[in-house]
A and B are shown apart, each in its own frame.
Chain A
Amino acid sequence: MPIEQTEPRIRRDPGFPVAWLIAPATLWLVAFLLLPLLAIFVFSFWKASGHGLTPAFTLENYQNFFAVEGFFDPQHESFLTPSIFLRTLWTTFRFTATVMAICLLLAYPLAYFLAMQVESFKWQLTLFLLVMVPFWTSYLIRAVAWLPMLGRHGLLNEFLMSTGLVDEPVSFLLYSEFSYTMALVQLYVVLAVGPIFFSLAKIDRALLEAARDMGATSFQIFREIIVPLSLPGVAIGMIFVFVLLMGEFATAVVVYGGKTSTTGTIILNYYGIANYPFAAVNAIMLMLAMMIGVIVILRLVDIRKEL
């Protein structure tokens, strides 16, 4: 006679099977994230033919990226003139770095205010949401919205004239580095506020209280406790802003009148003239620059405890 098992069944693995839970999303990511990136990598070694791509293995596209205008070319007079593509990548990076710095300067005090100075949780959430709302609206339209502000008869000029700072309208406001930087800051600063706010809000208030009881001044508390503990949030916010800015291409057209190009616009232009391999090379170079940037940020700050 079989012995009836009276012990309760031991559930070694409660819940739905992991494989089923992750399968759909994993397949989706393979199809729409991994394959496109792989395609860029492979196509960057292919040849452009009249109306598309021909399989090949050539480094010609990479050579064109670097070698135009005599870079690495001893015969050329302007030996060290980098190609337009390298210079564009550099410009893209320069704008990105400037905008990142401004975003950090603007976002930190704001996040500090929300996390440390607003006491009621309800208000904290409301004021935070108010800052976040633009992130959920169209960024193209937010870029367009700068047009009436800038320009010769824009609101900023009117304001400057009414305060007597300038006598006649200044022209550097629209279609200039100034307008471009300003619009980018306004578009992306919100992304820096979020992570910094979260890391500040997580700081244990007892720590600050203890430091205060031991006689630390507000500034000491800020420098020795708040800043170090908020660094992971700063790093995450800066990574967000960095990668999105490096991939930026539409804003330049709207508020800079297309006077500058970013690597993003170059990619679009070469896609437009059906030179897919060269668009791919620019994309690879952009990715490389971004990876280096992200690694540098991660080197400076250890964000692992935040994830």
Chain B
Amino acid sequence: MARSSPERRRRFRVKVGLSIYYVMFLVFIYGPMFAMFVLSFQGPRGGVTFPMRGISLHWWAALLQPSIVGDLRSALARSLILAIIVMVITAVFSTMLAMAFRKRFFGAGVLFYAIMAGLMVPGILLSLGLASLLRQLGLPPAWWSSALGLHVVWTLPFGFLVMMAVFNRFDGRLEEAARDMGADEWTVFREVTLPLITPGIVAAGLFGFTLSYDEFARTTLVAGAQNTLPLDINASLTQRVQPTLFALGTASTLFSLLMIAMFIAVYTILYRRSH
């Protein structure tokens, strides 16, 4: 049946309208970040809003001086180390869990909801619970112990869902064939399963790294004496806001974007190679 031409024209109009809407949406979610980026080059006498009073690297230079928001470089280093540890643990745990969920086992339902709970329980509640628990037990909190623990609880569901999706489309007959040819479980995993799921593991790691690197709520009460980068950023918010904060925000955002681009590039390369 030939479709009427007014109907087709109407659908075309819907498409154009929604395309325009998409662009406006991008402006909405990226616009503020872009304004912050521009204002980080504010002249030395300018403030935190437009107009620009000249263009300078004044506020970027101030970023390198240690006095502004504490010891920024160590905070960055700690955030990076923490993010890398979280990334590795998330990737390993997600893979193991998703492999377990390929079979039916006792308690699978409970475990599934427990993993998902990490996504549903607000970070501030976990921070409060763990911080007061540690205090009562007389154990000191630290970014590499208690904060690490809460970060993984937050990133695990994302990695797990990614790996579940990967194994949903996984052809188990490949492993069967390898087993029939006499391969033991480790050989099957190393030679057959792992190469096929590596792109998924990278994607799970992306969630682990980026979500941990920026995490504030699950760090705030449980990081101990030493700050991570989001804690430093939050601390600088309580002082008078200066364009330095915009320089810091821009630097941190650019770094995040770089990491995301790297993850996506690695993912694409691995995906092409495994298919």
Contacts and interface: CB of A to CB of B under 8 A. Distances in A.
A88 B125 CA distance: 16
Contacts of A34: 114
A129 B36 CA distance: 22
A155 B115 contact: no
Given A16-B189, A32-B149, A280 B128 contact: yes
Contacts of A164: none
Contacts of B260: 133, 136
Given A140-B237, A147-B241, 15 more contacts: A15-B185, A25-B96, A33-B121, A40-B125, A52-B136, A129-B264, A133-B257, A145-B35, A148-B32, A186-B28, A243-B122, A247-B121, A264-B122, A271-B128, A276-B135
B120 A283 contact: no
A53 B132 contact: yes
Contacts of B132: 39-40, 43, 53, 271, 276, 279-280
B36 A137 contact: no
B32 A186 contact: yes
A255 to B, nearest CB: 10
A113 B124 CA distance: 35
A250 B211 CA distance: 16
Contacts of B197: none
A146 B48 CA distance: 11
Interface in A109-151: 109-110, 112-114, 117, 127, 129-131, 133-134, 136-142, 144-149, 151
A28 B49 contact: no
A113 to B, nearest CB: 4
A276 B136 CA distance: 10
B111 interface: yes
Given A25-B93, A32-B150, A138 B252 contact: yes
Contact of A243 (B7, B120, B206): B120
Nearest to A265: B124
B102 A136 contact: no
Interface of A: 11, 13-16, 18, 21-22, 24-26, 28-29, 31-40, 43, 52-53, 106, 109-110, 112-114, 117, 127, 129-131, 133-134, 136-142, 144-149, 151-155, 158, 186, 189-190, 212-213, 217-218, 239-240, 243-244, 246-247, 249-250, 253-254, 264, 267-268, 271, 276, 279-280, 283, 286-287, 290, 294
B77 to A, nearest CB: 17
Nearest to A268: B124
Contact of A144 (B122, B156, B237): B237
B120 A138 contact: no
Interface in B1-54: 1, 3, 7, 10-11, 14-15, 18-19, 21-22, 25-26, 28-33, 35-36, 39, 48-51
Contacts of A136: 206-207, 210-211, 214, 256, 260
